[in-house]
């Protein structure tokens, strides 16, 4: 690719503050970046790193109280900060386009799609109504929208998340911008949709010769899509290089730590985790901002301001990485449960159906089939991972197993007793055996209770011990999850996300259960904190002999955590087997498509275009008969209209045309 020498956009010492009720947060501190025409710049960082603030500063969309306080934003040689308001609006409206994180809320709910997409043309170029509509249809077709001539007259809530994101992209593209900014464009989407959207952005960049800034927390997304990468931490760019160079040889200690914290790079079964938390940017800071968490920091790091140095590969670190780090393929986990272990949980033909919006007088016959005949077992000391995209029924399975809802039919056998047939008292005792861990521990804790009450509650409910014994147990739990005793007197809102997950874990351990159902326990966490929580979960499993049902949409996390993996699609378990076999030798076409869609932090690897699934997830109100995946399956034939049984030995699949034969047992 021919890269022009003059950058299209250049940030020079950009600093942005956000005023609070008291004081201000220094969100950006002397950020230097550049992006050339036709190039994709990836900006990667954890929450609070300033990556989103950087692009919002460029677009002039800072939240209330936000203000650019220093530096230059040079677009095509002109400093945007010096432009007249009207010209600035024109530059931002016509020459730049932006795609936002949450497509569900990014569109005006009461405006027709066509009117929203064409609005920039109408405003900036004075295009007439009829022509604007034609242009909108044209651009919607270009972004892969089915039946664009119909959709122009629709409203946003009539479209799925992926489709809405296409609309947002179309809206950005209709002005033929020279710079496209995508802020976490796929974070709210499922992996298969994510892949479609990222490919679309790639294609469009080439076709329109745009510069693209791709902001994400996901190193995998960056590795696959960006030409160059800037790593941000605590409001600063700490390292910038070409993608290949950065992933081959990261130099900044933070970049290195971030990569080693990925589940994909787990060595010897343990994740590298960065201790501590990012600094509070509302307080004055000196020296390298990563120093308090860095194992290589010296006094010099803490006192001198380290600046970004170097040309092609610049980094701001006094003690950079010198040896070459490589991302090792995920080490297969030693199966922790022997084959002979007794099952702690057996689920047979589990079915859960809900009434479809049958509010008030209209009680229609429509039923949502959330879980449709799922069977599996979990052995003592084992982790069963359940993966699938949103709406596949994995969380419902978790809630049913944890006894939060009764199943429509089927058996849930915990420790030899079928939960669904137990009397009240026995079911009450059953809760000691099975506990639930939530994705959002903040929402799962009563905001008006102190941590000691929160941790004591399960003991009170199950009448375990006297108050002295309970106090002792609570202290023990805090030690187990590595939190100080002081935490007991505090309220949930005083803790960070990672700390809350630890407290949530402590609470689910309080009754000494044998099985914990963890529903997306790390999905809301940053990579470095995620590693801390995952390590803790595995340590406790080893020490206490726990079993987990680990539910997640993130295949790499499940791969790291689970002994066996079950894959769900639209209420059905389509494949289940040993983790390494499911991930490396998938038998179901859906599993393969899911695996191929996962972006990996390895710039050398390219996805096989053939396996990508097209189309949208069918409705669970009237799911397809037979194999539920057949409407989107590249291999589907007539026979798929009959339901395939889940068949096989240790690695089972429900497919008439499995991709592979089962590997020899014990492979």
Partner 1 sequence: MTTQEEAEPVRGMWRQGLEVFSENRLALAGVGLFVLLAGFSFLGPLFYQTDQVHTDLTKVFLTPGTDGHPLGADGVGYDQLGRMMLGGQTSIVVGLAAGLLATVVGTVWGAIAGFAGGWVDAVMMRVVDAMMSIPALFLFMLMASIVTPTVPMLIVIIGAFAWLGPARLVRGEALSLRTREYVMAMRGMGGTGGRAVRRHIIPNAIGTVIVNATFQVADAILYVAYLSFLGLGVPPPAANWGGMLSDGLSDTFSGHWWLLYPPGIAIILIVLAFNFIGDGLRDVFEVRLRRR
Partner 2 sequence: MTRYLLARLGQALVIVILVTLITFVILHLLPGGAARAILGKEATLQQIASFNHEMGYDRPLWEQYALYLRRLVGGDLGYSFQLNQSVAEAINQRLPKTMLLSLGSTLIAVVVAVPLGVIQAVRRNRWPDYTINGLSLLAYATPIFFMGLMMIILFSQVWPVLPPEAPQGFTMAEVLAEPAGLVLPTLTLAILTVAVYSRYIRSSMVDNLNENYVRTARSKGLAESRVIVGHTLRNGLFPVITLLGMYLPALFSGALVVERLFNYPGMGLLFWQAALKRDYPILLGVTLLISVATVAGALVADVLYAAVDPRVRLKAARS
452 is a site residue for partner 1 (CB under 8 A)? no
404 touches which of partner 1, partner 2, none (CB within 5 to 8 A by kind)? partner 1
- What is the distance in angstroms between the CA of the first residue and the CA of the last residue of the chain? 44
Task: Please tell me the distance from the alpha carbon of residue 214 to that of residue 111, in angstroms, as a whole number.
Answer: 28
- CB distance 386 to 640 below 8 Å: no
By CB under 8 A, the count of residues binding partner 2 is 37
Q: For partner 2, which residue of 24, 61, 277, 341 counts as binding (CB under 8 A)?
A: 61
100 is a site residue for partner 2 (CB under 8 A)? yes
Question: Could you tell me how many residues make up the chain?
Answer: 667
Within residues 274-303, the interface with partner 1 by CB under 8 A covers: 277-280
- Encoding tokens for residue 430? 């059953």
448 touches which of partner 2, partner 1, none (CB within 5 to 8 A by kind)? partner 1
Q: Toward partner 1, which CB reaches closer, 243 or 435?
A: 435
Q: Toward partner 1, which CB reaches closer, 250 or 398?
A: 398
93 touches which of partner 2, partner 1, none (CB within 5 to 8 A by kind)? partner 2
429 is a site residue for partner 1 (CB under 8 A)? yes
362 touches which of partner 2, partner 1, none (CB within 5 to 8 A by kind)? partner 2
Of 308, 330, 312, 311, which Cα lies nearest the Cα of 245? 312
Q: Toward partner 1, which CB reaches closer, 551 or 586?
A: 551
Task: Please tell me the distance from the alpha carbon of residue 332 to that of residue 52, in angstroms, as a whole number.
Answer: 36
DSSP-assigned beta bridge partners for residue 384: 549, 564
420 is a site residue for partner 1 (CB under 8 A)? no
286 touches which of partner 1, partner 2, none (CB within 5 to 8 A by kind)? none
Within residues 163-202, the interface with partner 2 by CB under 8 A covers: 168, 171-172, 175
126 is a site residue for partner 1 (CB under 8 A)? no
Q: Provide the minimum distance between the beta carbon of 186 and partner 2 in the complex, in angstroms, as a whole number.
A: 16
Identify the residue whose tokens are 């409203």: 155
496 is a site residue for partner 1 (CB under 8 A)? yes
- x/- string (CB under 8 A) for partner 2, residues 146-165? ---------x-xx-------
Phi/psi of residue 16, nearest 5 degrees: -135, 135
Within residues 172-231, the interface with partner 1 by CB under 8 A covers: none
361 is a site residue for partner 2 (CB under 8 A)? yes
Task: Please tell me the distance from the alpha carbon of residue 130 to that of residue 122, in angstroms, as a whole number.
Answer: 11
Q: Toward partner 1, which CB reaches closer, 237 or 444?
A: 444
Identify the residue whose tokens are 């932090």: 601
90 is a site residue for partner 2 (CB under 8 A)? yes
60 is a site residue for partner 2 (CB under 8 A)? yes
Sign of CA dihedral 322, 324, 325, 331: negative
Stretch that binds partner 1, among 106-114, 369-377, 433-441, 532-540 (CB under 8 A): 433-441
Q: Toward partner 1, which CB reaches closer, 135 or 431?
A: 431
Q: For partner 2, which residue of 67, 124, 129, 429 counts as binding (CB under 8 A)?
A: 124
Of 376, 355, 388, which Cα lies nearest the Cα of 629? 388
Task: Please tell me the distance from the alpha carbon of residue 274 to that of residue 637, in angstroms, as a whole number.
Answer: 50
CA distances for 386 relative to 301, 401, 569, angstroms:
44, 13, 11
81 is a site residue for partner 2 (CB under 8 A)? no
- CB distance 393 to 571 below 8 Å: yes
CA distances for 70 relative to 15, 27, 34, 79, 289, angstroms:
5, 12, 17, 12, 20
Q: Provide the minimum distance between the beta carbon of 120 and partner 2 in the complex, in angstroms, as a whole number.
A: 5
Task: Please tell me the distance from the alpha carbon of residue 125 to that of residue 539, in angstroms, as a whole number.
Answer: 62
Q: How many beta carbons lie within 10 A of that of residue 251, not counting itself? A: 22
Stretch that binds partner 2, among 118-126, 184-192, 396-404, 417-425 (CB under 8 A): 118-126
Maximum pairwise Cα distance, the chain? 77
Q: Toward partner 2, which CB reaches closer, 355 or 489?
A: 355
Q: For partner 1, which residue of 19, 111, 366, 461 counts as binding (CB under 8 A)?
A: 461
Stretch that binds partner 1, among 208-216, 244-252, 271-279, 347-355 (CB under 8 A): 271-279
By CB under 8 A, the count of residues binding partner 1 is 48
236 touches which of partner 2, partner 1, none (CB within 5 to 8 A by kind)? none
Task: Please tell me the distance from the alpha carbon of residue 263 to that of residue 257, in angstroms, as a whole number.
Answer: 12
CA 320 to chain centre: 29
Phi/psi of residue 318, nearest 5 degrees: -80, -25
Q: Provide the minimum distance between the beta carbon of 331 and partner 1 in the complex, in angstroms, as a whole number.
A: 29
Q: Provide the minimum distance between the beta carbon of 486 and partner 1 in the complex, in angstroms, as a whole number.
A: 7
Stretch that binds partner 1, among 1-9, 223-231, 458-466, 656-664 (CB under 8 A): 458-466
Q: For partner 2, which residue of 12, 30, 81, 102 counts as binding (CB under 8 A)?
A: 102
CA 381 to chain centre: 27
Helices within 109-179 (DSSP H only):
113-124, 129-142, 148-151, 161-173
Contacts of 221 (CB under 8 A, 6+ apart): 42, 186, 194, 198, 214, 599
CA 360 to chain centre: 36
Rounded CA Rg of the chain: 26
66 is a site residue for partner 2 (CB under 8 A)? no
Task: Please tell me the distance from the alpha carbon of residue 180 to that of residue 206, in angstroms, as a whole number.
Answer: 12
Q: Provide the minimum distance between the beta carbon of 504 and partner 1 in the complex, in angstroms, as a whole number.
A: 8
Task: Please tell me the distance from the alpha carbon of residue 500 to that of residue 529, in angstroms, as a whole number.
Answer: 11
**Which residues here bind partner 1, judged by CB under 8 A?**
47-48, 277-280, 402-404, 427-432, 435-436, 438, 440, 442-449, 457-458, 461-462, 484, 486-487, 489-491, 493-499, 507, 511, 526, 529
Residues of this chain that interact with partner 2 (CB under 8 A) are: 59-61, 86, 89-94, 97-98, 100, 102, 105-111, 119-120, 123-124, 155, 157-158, 168, 171-172, 175, 357, 360-362, 364
């Amino acid at each position: 690719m021919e890269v022009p020498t003059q950058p299209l956009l250049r940030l020079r010492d950009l600093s942005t503050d956000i005023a609070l009720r008291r004081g201000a947060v220094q969100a950006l501190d002397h950020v230097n970046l550049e992006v050339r025409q036709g190039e994709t710049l990836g900006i990667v960082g954890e929450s609070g790193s300033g990556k989103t603030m950087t692009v919002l500063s460029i677009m002039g969309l800072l939240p209330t109280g936000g203000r650019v306080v220093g530096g230059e934003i040079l677009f095509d040689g002109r400093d945007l900060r010096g432009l007249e308001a009207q010209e600035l609006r024109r530059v931002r409206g016509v020459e730049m386009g932006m795609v936002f994180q949450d497509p569900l809320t990014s569109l005006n709910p009461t405006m027709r799609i066509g009117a929203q997409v064409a609005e920039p043309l109408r405003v900036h170029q004075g295009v007439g109504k009829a022509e604007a509509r034609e242009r909108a249809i044209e651009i919607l077709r270009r972004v892969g929208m089915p039946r664009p001539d119909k959709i122009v007259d629709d409203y946003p809530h009539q479209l799925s998340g992926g489709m809405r994101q296409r609309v947002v992209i179309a809206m950005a593209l209709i002005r033929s911008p020279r710079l496209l900014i995508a802020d976490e464009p796929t974070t709210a989407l499922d992996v298969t949709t994510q892949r479609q959207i990222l490919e679309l952005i790639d294609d469009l960049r080439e076709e329109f010769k745009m510069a693209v800034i791709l902001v994400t927390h996901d190193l995998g997304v960056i590795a696959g899509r960006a030409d160059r990468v800037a790593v941000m931490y605590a409001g600063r760019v700490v390292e910038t290089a070409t993608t290949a160079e950065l992933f081959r040889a990261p130099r900044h200690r933070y970049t290195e730590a971030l990569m080693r914290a990925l589940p994909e790079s787990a060595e010897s079964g343990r994740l590298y985790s960065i201790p501590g938390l990012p600094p509070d940017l509302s307080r004055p800071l000196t020296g390298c901002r990563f120093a308090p968490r860095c194992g290589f920091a010296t006094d010099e790091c803490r006192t001198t301001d380290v600046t970004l140095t170097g040309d092609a590969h610049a980094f701001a670190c006094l003690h950079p990485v010198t040896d070459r780090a490589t991302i090792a393929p995920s080490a297969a986990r030693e199966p922790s449960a022997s084959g002979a272990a007794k099952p702690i949980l057996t689920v047979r033909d589990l079915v859960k159906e809900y009434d479809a919006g049958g509010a008030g007088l209209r009680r229609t016959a429509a039923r949502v089939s959330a879980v449709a005949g799922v069977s599996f077992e979990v052995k003592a000391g084992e982790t069963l991972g359940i993966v699938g995209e949103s709406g596949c029924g994995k969380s419902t399975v978790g809630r049913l197993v944890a006894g939060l809802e009764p199943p429509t039919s089927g058996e849930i056998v915990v420790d030899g007793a079928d939960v669904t047939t137990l009397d009240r008292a026995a079911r009450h005792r059953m809760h000691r055996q099975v506990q639930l861990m939530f994705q959002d521990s903040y929402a799962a804790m009563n905001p008006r209770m102190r941590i000691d009450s929160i941790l004591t509650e399960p003991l009170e409910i199950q009448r375990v011990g006297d108050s002295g014994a309970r106090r002792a147990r609570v202290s023990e739990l805090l030690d187990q999850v590595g939190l100080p005793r002081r935490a007991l007197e505090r309220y949930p809102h005083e803790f960070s996300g990672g700390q809350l997950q630890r407290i949530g874990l402590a609470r689910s351990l309080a009754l000494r259960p044998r099985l914990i159902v963890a529903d997306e326990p790390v999905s809301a966490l940053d990579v470095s904190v995620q590693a801390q929580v995952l390590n803790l979960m595995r340590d406790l499993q080893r020490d206490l002999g726990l079993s987990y049902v680990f539910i997640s949409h993130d295949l790499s996390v499940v791969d790291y955590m689970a002994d066996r993996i079950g894959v769900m699609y639209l209420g059905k378990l389509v494949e289940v087997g040993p983790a390494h076999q499911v991930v490396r030798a998938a038998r179901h076409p859906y599993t393969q498509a899911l695996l191929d869609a996962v972006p990996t932090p390895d710039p050398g690897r390219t996805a096989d275009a053939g396996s990508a699934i097209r189309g949208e997830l069918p409705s669970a109100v009237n799911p397809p008969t037979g194999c539920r995946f057949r409407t989107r399956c590249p291999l589907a034939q007539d026979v798929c209209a009959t339901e395939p049984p889940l068949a096989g030995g240790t690695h089972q699949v429900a497919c008439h045309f499995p991709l592979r034969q089962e590997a020899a047992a014990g492979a």
